């Protein structure tokens, strides 16, 4: 995982990131920087091959509805054994499908509470498929390193909420 670590960008993006960095360093305006970065990502995007894999659809299904995910049923539908499916998913996504479902459920709980601040935590837990508040609190501690209440408070107090989004800023 790359959380709370410094990693040389060339290890992930290759040596072309050095060229991008040099181009950005010679820019005189933010608009020029945005144009260079846009071109970089557009070029990267056009070079991608269309490697759609059935796991992509399954990952999306888990992300949007982690409560209904059943590993054995999904593996059977993919005509794979439980272990084969888990291994293939982990190779393609980088984590096991159960861990991905856990992260997705945590994210859903966070978004639900953030968008409904008056909703109590037990209701959030139940609506997002947790057995109880303690399981939800454990995921918040594991993934965010803090309690649910503190994370939501910090999110709601975030300075970024006081500023317009980049699309609003640029008049898009």
pTM summary value:
0.61
Q: What is the pLDDT of residue 172?
A: 46
* DSSP assignments along 4-54, one per residue: T----HHHHH-THHHHHHHHHHT-SSHHHHHHHHHHHHHHHHHH------H
Mean pLDDT of 101-111: 94
pLDDT band at 170 (very low <50, low <70, confident <90, very high): very low
Chain mean pLDDT for the chain: 83
User: Which among 69, 97, 94 has a CA at the least distance from the CA of 83?
Assistant: 97
At 132, give phi and psi (nearest 5°).
-165, 175
Residue 167 CA, chain-centre distance (Å), reads 20
Q: State both tokens at 84.
A: 């084969």
Considering only 35-49, 93-107, 122-136, which range has the smallest mean pLDDT? 35-49
pLDDT at 163 over 80: no
Q: Mean of the pLDDT values across residues 147-156?
A: 87
Span 46-104, pLDDT tens digits: 776 556 666 667 888 888 889 888 888 888 887 888 898 899 889 888 899 999 999 99
State the Cα–Cα distance between residues 128 and 161, nearest whole angstrom. 25
């Amino acid at each position: 995982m790359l959380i709370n670590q410094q990693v040389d960008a060339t290890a992930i993006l290759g040596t072309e990131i050095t060229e991008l960095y040099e181009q950005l360093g010679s820019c005189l305006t933010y608009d020029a920087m945005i144009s260079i970065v846009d071109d970089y990502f557009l070029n990267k995007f056009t070079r991608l091959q269309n490697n759609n894999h059935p796991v992509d659809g399954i990952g999306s299904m888990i992300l949007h509805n982690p409560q209904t995910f059943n590993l054995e049923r999904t593996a059977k539908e993919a005509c794979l054994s439980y272990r084969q499916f888990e291994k293939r998913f982990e190779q393609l996504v980088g984590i096991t499908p159960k861990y991905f479902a856990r992260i997705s459920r945590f994210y859903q709980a966070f978004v639900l509470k953030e968008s409904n601040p008056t909703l109590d935590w037990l209701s959030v837990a139940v609506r997002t498929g947790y057995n109880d508040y303690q399981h939800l609190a454990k995921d918040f501690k594991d993934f965010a390193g803090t309690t649910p209440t503190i994370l939501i408070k910090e999110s709601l107090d975030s300075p970024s909420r006081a500023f317009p989004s980049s699309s609003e800023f640029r008049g898009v």
